[in-house]
Amino acid sequence: MNIKNYINGSFHNPLNNEWINNFCPANGEVYGKTPNSSKEDVENAYIAAKSAFPIWSQTTLDERSRILIKISELLEANLDRFAEAESKDNGKPVSLAKSINIPRAASNFRFFGNAITQFASESHESVGQNAINYTLRQPIGVVGCISPWNLPLYLFTWKIAPALAAGNCVVAKPSEITPMTAYLLGEICNEAGLPKGVLNIVHGWGTTTGQAIVEHPDIKAISFTGGTVTGAHIARTAAPMFKKLSLELGGKNPNIIFANCDYKDMLETTVRSSFSNQGQICLCGSRIFVESTIYDKFKVDFVEKVKQLKVGHPSEHSTNIGALVSKPHLEKIMGYVEIAKNEGNKILCGGQKVTVKGFENGYYFEPTVIEAKTNDCKLNQEEIFGPIVTLMSFESEDEVLQMANDVKYGLSATLWTNDLKRTMRMSNQLQAGIVWVNTWMMRDLRTPFGGVKASGVGREGGFEALRFFTEAKNVCIKY
Ligand code: NDP
């Protein structure tokens, strides 16, 4: 099936007629083509967005809200179709796409459809000066949204929904590795009555299509989620044009386990926080630090649970671990196992490619637990973004805090303890945008989301996202 660009409310082949193969990770076969859009396609998308902006930015909040909520309802009504498409495109278990990923995409539209009706700006009375200041929060104009392959529709809509709610028009690009659900979203937007040109979706490689969006002089803001290296490149490209940038980048998140935690809950959640979505979530806790008094017990129990995870075809309901997203990604993961061995780390379980009967060319890999010798090895310092976690033991709070923070990333951290004072001390000192205590990946869409250090710049979520997608203008009136 050939995917098309969604520009000005209708579907178009790329002008250059260049196409990229779209692979199904579960069997390694090409099952469709994706446009490799050029600068000219991006320009057409921009022109459509620019023409739609005067009307969309003046559309009442009630009407914008109604349309966004309608998109959310239509996504829910098409749950099975979207979940199956996302699973086929990405390799994730269809059960995960159905229970979490697609419902979350629907929630993004519902949440920002509601949030925009509650969003308010400030006023400041200049006492003694007979003046009042008020702040306008005006939409920016045409904005660019670029998202990765791991949570394709979930992260794509996490950007698009607030951008549209705030009154902007959008030129968006999903990862060319997983374009299918973004393509299907166009149909839903038409059905929901989103005016043409308000959202435009252009497919293609990051280095061509994505680059053209970032370089476009009149696309005034870029919201990007992806790798740290790409984020740095985008920042360099955008800086001379003074674009607004929101960068959600990589992570190497610590999962810190103290002996005085609820052990059973911790163990089950740690299996999830290590291997959900084949470990391909920026928030996965890939470095597990365990207090020395329970280290040996944890090691045995954790490895036993991990060995029970079933690697299999994504459409099988018994599958826990589906296929990795692409062959190059599988090769990258296998490369890290070699690095681990060369560094003298010990593989406790996994470490091998899996052959699934009937789907021998699929990109399957065992969930892998590695006992690391030091925190400064490559395995503990580089983002792997796959089903590999490391274990290390620690003696004291200070020691684990030092190791947790001694990495270039700072996206999230998880802490398992029932000691309130320790919770407060450590939450304050962990260098991360999000700290979960006795839980993982519990999300409330009102909260600020993002990272520190090499994990990004800016925050998305809730009113933070609406602030990013608007320009504040202060008006001062003397009376
Ligand atoms: P990439 O950085 O490779 O790509 C992300 C997106 O950017 C893709 O759509 C990509 O297109 C595009 N892109 C690539 N080069 C350019 C460019 N020069 N200009 C504009 N766009 C470009 O990341 P991945 O897709 O490999 O995603 C994995 C990464 O995303 C991990 O590092 C992960 O941690 C991070 N991530 C961060 C999250 C967060 O919230 N902080 C959440 C989820 C993932 P193409 O696909 O063609 O390369």
From the alpha carbon of 173, which atom of ligand 1 is closest?
A: 9
**Residues 19-34: what's their mean pLDDT?**
98
Q: Is 176 in the pocket of ligand 1 (CB under 6 A)?
A: yes
**Residues 326-333: what's their mean pLDDT?**
98
Atom 48 of ligand 1: nearest residue by CA position: 206
* 351 neighbors 365 (Cβ within 8 angstroms): no
What is the pLDDT confidence band of residue 459, given thresholds at 50, 70 and 90? Answer: very high
The candidate with the shortest Cα–Cα distance to 369, out of 356, 394, 386, is: 386
What is the pLDDT confidence band of residue 375, given thresholds at 50, 70 and 90? Answer: very high
pLDDT at 1 over 90: no
**Residues 350-365: what's their mean pLDDT?**
98
Report the half-sphere exposure of 276 (CA within 13 A, side-chain side): 19
User: Over the Cα atoms of the chain, what is R_g?
Assistant: 23
Report the half-sphere exposure of 68 (CA within 13 A, side-chain side): 32
- The DSSP string of 293-350 is HHHHHHHHHHHHHHHHPPB--TTSTT-SB---S-HHHHHHHHHHHHHHHHTT-EEEE-
Q: How far is the CA of 148 from the centre of ligand 1 (A)?
A: 4
Phi first, then psi, for residue 389 (nearest 5°) are: -125, 155
pLDDT value of position 98: 98
Q: Is 150 in the pocket of ligand 1 (CB under 6 A)?
A: yes
Atom 9 of ligand 1: nearest residue by CA position: 175
**Residues 322-338: what's their mean pLDDT?**
98
- The DSSP string of 53-74 is HHHHHTS-HHHHHHHHHHHHHH
Q: How far apart are CA 445 and CA 366, in angstroms?
A: 32
**In this structure, what DSSP letter does residue 386 have?**
S
What is the pLDDT confidence band of residue 21, given thresholds at 50, 70 and 90? Answer: very high
Torsion of CA 137, 138, 144, 146, to 10 degrees: 20
From the alpha carbon of 205, which atom of ligand 1 is closest?
A: 47
Q: To test ligand 1's pocket by mutation, which of 177, 225, 237, 464 has the most ligand atoms within 8 angstroms of CB? A: 225
List residues with catalytic annotation.
248, 282
Sign of CA dihedral 296, 298, 301, 305: negative
**In this structure, what DSSP letter does residue 366 have?**
-
* CB atoms inside a 10 Å sphere around CB 124: 12
Q: To test ligand 1's pocket by mutation, which of 146, 236, 331 has the most ligand atoms within 8 angstroms of CB? A: 146
Q: Tell me which H or E stretch contains 87.
A: helix 79-90
**Residues 145-159: what's their mean pLDDT?**
98
Q: How far is the CA of 147 from the centre of ligand 1 (A)?
A: 6
The candidate with the shortest Cα–Cα distance to 451, out of 431, 426, 424, is: 431
Hey, is 237 helix, strand or coil? Answer: helix
What is the pLDDT confidence band of residue 7, given thresholds at 50, 70 and 90? Answer: very high
Mean of the per-residue pLDDT values of the chain = 98
pLDDT at 264 over 90: yes
Q: Is 250 in the pocket of ligand 1 (CB under 6 A)?
A: yes
* CB atoms inside a 10 Å sphere around CB 272: 14
Atom 11 of ligand 1: nearest residue by CA position: 206
* Angle, in degrees to the nearest 10, between helices 61-77 and 79-90: 70
Q: How far apart are CA 405 and CA 147, in angstroms?
A: 27
Q: How far is the CA of 156 from the centre of ligand 1 (A)?
A: 11
Atom 25 of ligand 1: nearest residue by CA position: 148
Give the chain's largest Cα–Cα span: 79
What is the pLDDT confidence band of residue 166, given thresholds at 50, 70 and 90? Answer: very high
**Residues 301-323: what's their mean pLDDT?**
98
Q: What are 193-207's pLDDT values in tens digits? A: 999 999 999 999 999
Q: Is 144 in the pocket of ligand 1 (CB under 6 A)?
A: no
Q: How far apart are CA 212 and CA 331, in angstroms?
A: 29
Atom 12 of ligand 1: nearest residue by CA position: 206
pLDDT value of position 472: 98
Q: How far apart are CA 87 and CA 89, in angstroms?
A: 5
Q: What are 426-441's pLDDT values in tens digits? A: 999 999 999 999 999 9
The candidate with the shortest Cα–Cα distance to 89, out of 155, 27, 21, 23, is: 23
Q: How far is the CA of 101 from the centre of ligand 1 (A)?
A: 18
Report how far apart, in Å, the C-alpha atoms of 280 and of each of 213, 326, 329 are: 26, 12, 10
Q: Is 285 in the pocket of ligand 1 (CB under 6 A)?
A: no
From the alpha carbon of 456, which atom of ligand 1 is closest?
A: 41
* 216 neighbors 143 (Cβ within 8 angstroms): no
The candidate with the shortest Cα–Cα distance to 412, out of 271, 257, 285, 247, is: 285
Q: How far is the CA of 58 from the centre of ligand 1 (A)?
A: 33
Atom 32 of ligand 1: nearest residue by CA position: 227
Phi first, then psi, for residue 175 (nearest 5°) are: -65, 140
Residues near 233 by beta carbon (within 8 Å), at least 6 away in sequence: none
pTM: 0.97
Q: Is 410 in the pocket of ligand 1 (CB under 6 A)?
A: no
* 158 neighbors 460 (Cβ within 8 angstroms): yes
pLDDT value of position 407: 98
Atom 20 of ligand 1: nearest residue by CA position: 210
Token pair 């690391």 is found at 372
Token pair 């052959």 is found at 355
**Residues 61-89: what's their mean pLDDT?**
98
Q: Is 46 in the pocket of ligand 1 (CB under 6 A)?
A: no
Structure tokens at 138: 């005006």
From the alpha carbon of 449, which atom of ligand 1 is closest?
A: 40
* 330 neighbors 356 (Cβ within 8 angstroms): no
